[in-house]
A and B are shown apart, each in its own frame.
Chain A
Amino acid sequence: MARRVGRISPFNITALALGMAFLYLPIVILVIYSFNASRLVTVWGGWSLRWYHEFFNDRAMLDAAWMSLRVAAVSATIATLLGTLAAVGLARGERFRGRTLFSGMLYAPLVMPEVISGLSLLLLFVALNAERGFWTVTIAHTTLTMCFVTVVVQSRLASLDRSLEEAAMDLGCDPVQAFIRVTVPLILPAIAAGWMLAFTLSLDDVVIASFTTGPGSATLPIRIYSEVRLGVKPEINAICTMVIALIAVLIVIASLASKLSGAEVKSAAPL
């Protein structure tokens, strides 16, 4: 490969700087305003934790947050299990009956409009006469997020050197042992990244949750969404900041974990 000539024009730098500012400024502004003491969202009244305090006294919001965290944790865990299995099947199973259908079903939800996924799952739940609430939302989120887990884990499996698995089997491991002892440790960063991606996607979803939840079990995004439709409230700034902080902590943990688990793992990032 030819060496790249490192020529960066002022134009390139300007485009990059403006692009990054565009991506990050709104979030930074949101975080700053969450510490605003004033009730008017746009008037700066000095630093304060007032809105955080407000949130922790808001029973309905707390319930919704707790519901969301539970749904995200449970659905991300099931999705990671199923998604990893699916990735193994696709990356190592070579050919099997219905493989095209299988990969199609796993890729379609990535671009499927949420209104369709939500509506179709709700119709299924109604037909099954399932009581809507925690479990229906969890199942819906699992279905959506396991596809993302599959993509992340599968791309890691594809780049993995198969001779390691073969060596383990030459040394007497059966395929399952070889998988658990050799493959799993090597793809662990991707599995962790997949879990986090599933967790954050679940924590973020409004549309599918709106369709599949029942009365009295709104998730945090549903509540935020209905508040936002009525206008900006400083308390929402505080909640959003806490969600951002939670996700930032998870990203840091995941990148540390991938560093600790082996220097040769280049990227645990999705996409």
Chain B
Amino acid sequence: MSTRRIFAQPARYAAIAPYLWMVLFFLVPFAFVLKISLSQTAIAQPPYVPVFDFSEGWTAINAAFAQLSFDNFRLLISDSLYISSYLRSVIVAVTSTLILLLIGYPIAYGMARLPQRWQAIAMMLVIVPFWTSFLIRIYAWINILQHDGLLNKILLALHLVSSPVVWLSTDSAMYLGIVYSYLPFMILPLYATLSKMDASLLEAASDLGSSPLQAFWLVTFPLSLPGVGAGALLCFIPIIGEFVIPDLLAGSGSMMIGQTLWLEFFTNKDWPVAAAAAVALLVLLVPPLLLYDRLQRRTLEGSR
């Protein structure tokens, strides 16, 4: 008991360096995003009018507050480009999460049914792709999906199609890339809840006369809902802000919000609008993040 207390003191000091680091390089930058999202665009380097100039003292700060403008946010709301890219982000994230659930659930279920020693191996196999570069994995699909790529060759050889199908720069390619990249994030939380489930519950269900399918639907699936929720949110949240996959695999037609932000920043050099888009994207992420936090807490309490 008392030794724990003694240990706690130096452990708190250990947190000082990482604490300062995160404040400086994570928290403070957000203040800058917020600040620049409220300033005016300028054709200069950097391309925005600074909002705060502390060298002038208090009066300058007061003047600066008077200068804050919500123009960038007004632009986001009025321009259909931004509204449609928000909508597209949400639609893409919801659709991909549903596909991930449909594919990930059977795999996680199969893993949980394996003999103990095989489960560890299967788990390793799911984690390893997460280690290999994500860009490389997307690139691997470009290899397969391109006009004279392997997929079209196989389809032609099997006479399933008469001419090569355009796969790249389509929404299906983008969904494929997203599902492929995020599958481990879906499988692992699902597997975690499914493997902890007490098998005697299923035996009881079948003793009471339910078919395997009924037992699954009435017992296994409801009990796995925390895993379903965790997996879904773990995929949904990052997919909303995804940039690389839609940029490489989807067509140039409609953009996700991450792409719009990138375009404003790198191509149009409109930093204030890009910063405003970042703030708006963050706001979009708050509800699912809070939901995830609540879910995690409930799971922790449940396991106690």
What is the CA–CA distance of A146 and B25 in the complex, to the nearest angstrom? 12
- Whether A8 is near chain B, meaning CB under 8 Å from some CB there, is yes
- Whether B223 is near chain A, meaning CB under 8 Å from some CB there, is no
Check if A240 sits within 8 Å of B278, measured CB to CB. Answer: no
- Whether B127 is near chain A, meaning CB under 8 Å from some CB there, is yes
- Whether B243 is near chain A, meaning CB under 8 Å from some CB there, is yes
- Whether A200 is near chain B, meaning CB under 8 Å from some CB there, is yes
Among A103-160, those with CB < 8 Å from B are 105-106, 108-109, 111-116, 119-121, 123-124, 126-127, 139-140, 142-143, 146, 150
What is the CA–CA distance of A24 and B130 in the complex, to the nearest angstrom? 11
Closest to A34 in B: B143
What is the CA–CA distance of A120 and B34 in the complex, to the nearest angstrom? 9
How many A residues, CB 8 Å from partner? 100
Closest to A3 in B: B199
A89 with B15, Cβ < 8 A, contacts A3-B199, A116-B241 known:
yes
Check if B244 sits within 8 Å of A225, measured CB to CB. Answer: yes
Contacting residues, chain B, for A165 (C-beta < 8 A)? 3, 7
What is the CA–CA distance of A236 and B125 in the complex, to the nearest angstrom? 25
Check if B203 sits within 8 Å of A5, measured CB to CB. Answer: yes
Q: Mark A4-47, 1 if CB is under 8 A from B, else 0.
A: 11111101110110011011101101100100000011100000
Closest to A124 in B: B29
- Whether A60 is near chain B, meaning CB under 8 Å from some CB there, is no
Contacting residues, chain A, for B30 (C-beta < 8 A)? 120
Give 30 A-B contacts (CB < 8 Å), ordered by A residue. A4-B199, A11-B110, A15-B109, A16-B111, A19-B107, A24-B129, A27-B140, A29-B144, A29-B150, A30-B143, A82-B17, A82-B18, A106-B18, A109-B26, A113-B285, A116-B241, A119-B265, A119-B274, A123-B275, A142-B25, A143-B26, A175-B6, A176-B10, A204-B134, A206-B135, A224-B139, A229-B248, A240-B136, A248-B132, A251-B131
Among B197-217, those with CB < 8 Å from A are 198-200, 203
Check if B198 sits within 8 Å of A2, measured CB to CB. Answer: yes
Q: Is the interface of A mostly helix, strand, loop or mixed?
A: helix
A residues contacting B by CB (< 8 A) are 1-9, 11-13, 15-16, 19-20, 22-24, 26-27, 29-30, 33, 40-42, 82-83, 85-86, 88-94, 96, 98, 102, 105-106, 108-109, 111-116, 119-121, 123-124, 126-127, 139-140, 142-143, 146, 150, 162, 165-166, 169-170, 175-176, 178-179, 196-197, 200, 203-204, 206-207, 210-211, 221, 224-225, 228-229, 231-232, 236-237, 240, 243-244, 247-248, 251, 269-271
Contacting residues, chain A, for B132 (C-beta < 8 A)? 27, 200, 243-244, 247-248
What is the CA–CA distance of A142 and B26 in the complex, to the nearest angstrom? 11
Contacting residues, chain B, for A15 (C-beta < 8 A)? 106-107, 109-110
Q: Mark B106-139, 1 if CB is under 8 A from A, else 0.
A: 1101110111100000111111111111111101
Closest Cβ of chain A to B92, distance in Å, is 13
Q: How many pairs of residues, A versus B, come closer than 8 Å at their CB atoms?
A: 274
